[in-house]
């Protein structure tokens, strides 16, 4: 397995939040944006569970998370409440469509 890195600007590096996956940043982004909906959802859940929330925005938008949240919620573990709170707060403030 490749060593983990905090440097999210290295396409060949394995991001710290992929501790359970041997994927480079380039491979991760490719799969996250790929045609396989199940794989996209799996990787998005992994990202939201394991990455620092400030790093999540490098890969997805709040709108993408809001749209996927009903399908993602059961996969988020201890981070579920955080993401539900954040998205519902942004909706209540008018920053995201309801």
**Considering the entire predicted model, what is its pTM?**
0.94
Per the rule left: phi > 0, alpha: psi between -120 and 50, beta: everything else, 77 is: left
Give the pLDDT score at 1: 86
Bridge partners, residue 15, by sequence: 5
Alpha carbons 76 and 93: distance in angstroms, whole number = 24
pLDDT at position 18 is 97
d(CA 82, CA 65): 12
Question: What are the extents of the domains in the chain?
Answer: 4-92
Answer yes or no: are the C-beta atoms of 23 and 31 closer than 8 Å. Answer: yes
Beta bridge partners of 5: 15
Strand blocks (E) in 42-82: none
Segments of the chain with pLDDT less than 70: none
Alpha-carbon distance of 85 to 53, in angstroms, equals 13
């Amino acid at each position: 397995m490749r060593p983990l890195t905090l440097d999210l600007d290295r396409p060949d590096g394995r991001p710290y939040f992929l501790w359970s996956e041997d994927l480079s940043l380039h491979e991760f982004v490719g799969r996250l944006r790929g045609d396989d909906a199940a794989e996209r959802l799996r990787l998005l859940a992994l990202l939201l569970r394991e990455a620092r929330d400030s790093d999540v925005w490098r890969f997805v938008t709040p709108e993408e998370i809001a749209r996927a949240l009903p399908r993602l919620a059961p996969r988020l573990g201890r981070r579920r409440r955080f993401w539900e709170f954040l998205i519902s707060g942004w909706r209540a403030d008018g920053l995201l469509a309801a």
